[in-house]
Structure 1
Amino acid sequence: MTALFEPITAGQLALSNRIVMAPLTRNRAPNAVPTPLMAKYYEQRASAGLLITEATAISHQGQGYADVPGLYAPEQIEGWKRVTAAVHRAGGKIVTQLWHVGRVSHTELQPGGGAPVAPSAIAAKTKTVLIKDGIPTFVETSTPRALELEELPGIVEDYRKAALAAIEAGFDGVEIHAANGYLIDQFLKTGSNQRADAYGGSVENRARLLLEVAKAVADAIGGGRTGIRLSPVTPANDVVDADPQPLFTYVLQQLAPLGLAYVHLIEGATGGPRKIADRPFDYATLRAAYHAAGGKAAWMVNNGYDLTLAKKALNDGADLVAFGKSYIANPDLVTRLKQGGPFNAPDKSTFYGGGEKGYTDYPALVA
């Protein structure tokens, strides 16, 4: 039986346990620059085997929410250096999640007030967050414009540069965010991609951008320091694919030769049910296809996991288990899981935006 608290090596990442802090957007980086308060937040949670940062924009165009961090300017790199140094002092490992939101944005957040970009000019029926006078406000996303074919190499290059910037900032690696209805996921899925060129139509074409990004990042910093996040059937941010099983089987088969550190799978609806009645998906078959293609990355599972479910997942073949909202209110979640609680309840009113309240002021257990 594989124990949740046993160490594991995922690519080049030597992890002290199999508990992962999932990426959690908290909107506390004004002007997209990480702050000392963020360094404290991540340091408090460094007992996780691996910390994955909140989604971090690879470019100004990639920004989709107010006060989320970036990794494309010198002051952002310097801000992240404080974060990684704090985590490493505490004995932890940390990767950053590389993010381009695509159409899930607003003109107020885009360079020059322009339209967000997407594979096709189809508006997402979802909302983003703007912060006015310190108050987070949910607003409808803006209608995007379709990316021109000649723009796509620049998108890939932005991911490559951001990966290199992450290593400069002291991160142990990166996670490519290809899930939850953001840009790469928009290209993958039929509901958001109606292109008629080399990046639309067939499974191979719709997967092209993801695979180009993954190869560029792995070539730049090493596959063993690269992870990828996928969400085959989540309806988050208004995405849907007509036939996700063969799509993601192809994606995983193509990723297998890259020697990635881990594959991070969101099972079911992000933050919702683990099984969706009208979107069945066989994750065990997907994992088997990846292994049959020679893939050796650690297999990370995510969505609504508690201690019981986590133990079962490891027994069923997973290698890592990501915990999300539990980490908001429980900085010492590893200790609490070991002894079966107690667990702090999160204050939902402080999830997005603000200061230390509901961010760094949750108490740890007294030894």
Structure 2
Amino acid sequence: MTTTSALSAAPHTTESGHPLLDPYALPALALPNRVVMAPMTRMRADRNAVPTPLMATYYAQRAGAGLIVSEGISPSPTGQQYLTQPGLYTDEQVDAWREVTDAVHAAGGRIFAQVMHAGRNAHPANRHDGGVPLAPSAVSRTHLVHTLDGKVAPVAPRAMTRAEVHAAVAEHAEAASAAVRAGFDGVEIHGANSYLPHQFLADNTNLRTDEYGGGTTGRIRFAVEVVEAVADAVGAERVGLRLSPGNPEGEMVERDPATVHRALLAAIDPLGLAYLHLTDDPVYPALADLRPRWSGTLVGNTGEHEETTPESATRLVGEGRADLVSVGRPFISTPDAVERLAAGIPWASIREREFHYTSGPRGYVDYPRSNGTPTLPAGASTSEKNKE
């Protein structure tokens, strides 16, 4: 593993005249630029967790990104967080995702599927099987849960048995294989922002005393097993991992994120993953601490504490703190974000935030390009363009 800090943090020497517009080669995928569209929940699937044609339009509109990472996709009914969150565990879902990936590829883009298991964030009202949430330990969140019927009180999770832990590992690998069948270029494992792998890493949500809890070795075991299983299923060169060390989102508490995440990276770095997607934190500067401990590609994100702007994204790559930069909310309102960077045109502001999680096109596919024309690239579906 490369541990030379000076090498890892070397400033980027640009070829194009703009650090974000230079091409970049992942182990198995060539990217035309260094801007990654971050995964963002949008809840446009149907009530069977099947992607809709509108989703093909949305992702194809944003195909100018060097890489798109999809919204979080549930690997199983157990992992479902929202009723209209898409899944990757039925043939119908796989076939519908194929329409999305075909549209992105027809528009010249590249897309990874983010596999996201809710763990304790789930709720019976949001699960198609109506089941009780499963988590490392029976520790409930306190914040209200969003359902289609409004905000409701959380339901205490049940502590996973060893068999259920092993099943969750297998579900991640099965979803990854399904993603490849659906035409995705790779898979990102969501180990950040309070989802199941993060719940195993955090102090307050993992009170286990078996091999999946206790000290650092136990806390990282689930995440390591998931990464290894997914890499075995689809090839390590097609697998990314997202982490958010020290991030308190979802009521996570990590007393010593540096020790835990250094150990996790040491365990998975030799696998040769496509990338590590790392969210920085003002309390624990993960990018500064962990970049020298990661020998592969690093995707940096600062959106949790610093607004992502063209200037801040450029600094992140230009100063060598990351190889690629993930951009989230700006891609909601600026489908042509990369094209605007190249032309020196500002990113657009978000309007009508109340439509972020509704079912229709408003606030989803109706943001125009910088020249004011609708964003409807070749290959995108327009069958729901006027549906509310």
Amino acid at match of 1:88: H
1:343 is displaced (CA, Å) by 2.9
Q: How many residues align?
A: 350
Partner residue in 2 for 1:184? 197
2:95 is the alignment partner of 1:78: yes
1:305 is displaced (CA, Å) by 2.0
Partner residue in 2 for 1:19? 35
2:330 is the alignment partner of 1:323: no
Partner residue in 1 for 2:132? 115
Aligned-residue CA RMSD in angstroms? 1.4
Partner residue in 2 for 1:301? 301
1:222 is displaced (CA, Å) by 0.8
* Conservation of the 8 A alpha-carbon contact between 2:300 and 2:326: yes
Output one character per residue of 1:299-323: Cα deviation in whole Å (capped at 9) or x when no partner: 4334232121122111332111111
Output one character per residue of 1:248-298: Cα deviation in whole Å (capped at 9) or x when no partner: 111111111111111101112xxxxxx2xxx333422211122xxxx3234
| Separation (CA, whole Å) in 2 of partners of 1:357 and 1:142 | 32
1:220 is displaced (CA, Å) by 1.1
Task: Determine which of 330, 334, 339 is the counterpart of 1:335.
Answer: 339
Work out the percentage of aligned pairs sharing the same amino acid. Answer: 43
Structure 1, unpaired ranges of 5+: 269-274
| Separation (CA, whole Å) in 1 of partners of 2:89 and 2:289 | 38
Task: Determine which of 155, 166, 171 is the counterpart of 1:142.
Answer: 155
| Separation (CA, whole Å) in 2 of partners of 1:282 and 1:229 | 12
Output one character per residue of 1:96-122: Cα deviation in whole Å (capped at 9) or x when no partner: 100101000111123542210000000
Alpha carbons of structure 1 residues 344 and 308: separation in structure 2 relative to 1, 3 Å: closer
Amino acid at match of 1:4: L
Alpha carbons of structure 1 residues 324 and 202: separation in structure 2 relative to 1, 3 Å: same
* Conservation of the 8 A alpha-carbon contact between 1:226 and 1:262: yes
Task: Determine which of 222, 225, 236 is the counterpart of 2:249.
Answer: 236
* Conservation of the 8 A alpha-carbon contact between 2:275 and 2:299: yes
Partner residue in 2 for 1:311? 314
Partner residue in 2 for 1:286? 290
| Separation (CA, whole Å) in 1 of partners of 2:44 and 2:319 | 37
| Separation (CA, whole Å) in 1 of partners of 2:118 and 2:345 | 36
Task: Determine which of 253, 266, 276 is the counterpart of 2:279.
Answer: 266
Structure 2, unpaired ranges of 5+: 1-12, 374-388
Amino acid at match of 1:145: R
Partner residue in 1 for 2:45? 29
Output one character per residue of 1:15-58: Cα deviation in whole Å (capped at 9) or x when no partner: 11000110010111012000110000000000000000000000
Output one character per residue of 1:168-196: Cα deviation in whole Å (capped at 9) or x when no partner: 00000000000000111000111110001
| Separation (CA, whole Å) in 2 of partners of 1:300 and 1:9 | 16
| Separation (CA, whole Å) in 1 of partners of 2:194 and 2:77 | 18
The TM-score normalised by the length of structure 1 is 0.92
Partner residue in 2 for 1:163? 176
Alpha carbons of structure 1 residues 77 and 178: separation in structure 2 relative to 1, 3 Å: same
* Conservation of the 8 A alpha-carbon contact between 1:305 and 1:321: no
Output one character per residue of 1:223-271: Cα deviation in whole Å (capped at 9) or x when no partner: 1110000000111111111110111111111111111111101112xxx
The TM-score normalised by the length of structure 2 is 0.87
Amino acid at match of 1:121: A
Partner residue in 1 for 2:377? none
1:61 is displaced (CA, Å) by 0.4
| Separation (CA, whole Å) in 2 of partners of 1:145 and 1:205 | 19
Partner residue in 1 for 2:379? none
1:7 is displaced (CA, Å) by 0.6
1:149 is displaced (CA, Å) by 1.3
* Conservation of the 8 A alpha-carbon contact between 2:345 and 2:370: no
Partner residue in 1 for 2:146? 129
* Conservation of the 8 A alpha-carbon contact between 1:249 and 1:289: yes
| Separation (CA, whole Å) in 1 of partners of 2:300 and 2:180 | 22
Deviates more, 1:333-342 or 1:54-63: 333-342
1:357 is displaced (CA, Å) by 0.5
2:30 is the alignment partner of 1:39: no
Task: Determine which of 96, 108, 114 is the counterpart of 1:97.
Answer: 114
| Separation (CA, whole Å) in 2 of partners of 1:173 and 1:143 | 34
1:124 is displaced (CA, Å) by 1.2
| Separation (CA, whole Å) in 2 of partners of 1:88 and 1:102 | 32
Partner residue in 2 for 1:365? 370
Question: Which structure exhibits the higher relative contact order, with contacts defined as CA atoms closer than 8 Å and separated by 6 or more residues?
Answer: 2
Matched residue of 1:219: which SS? Answer: helix
Partner residue in 1 for 2:354? 349
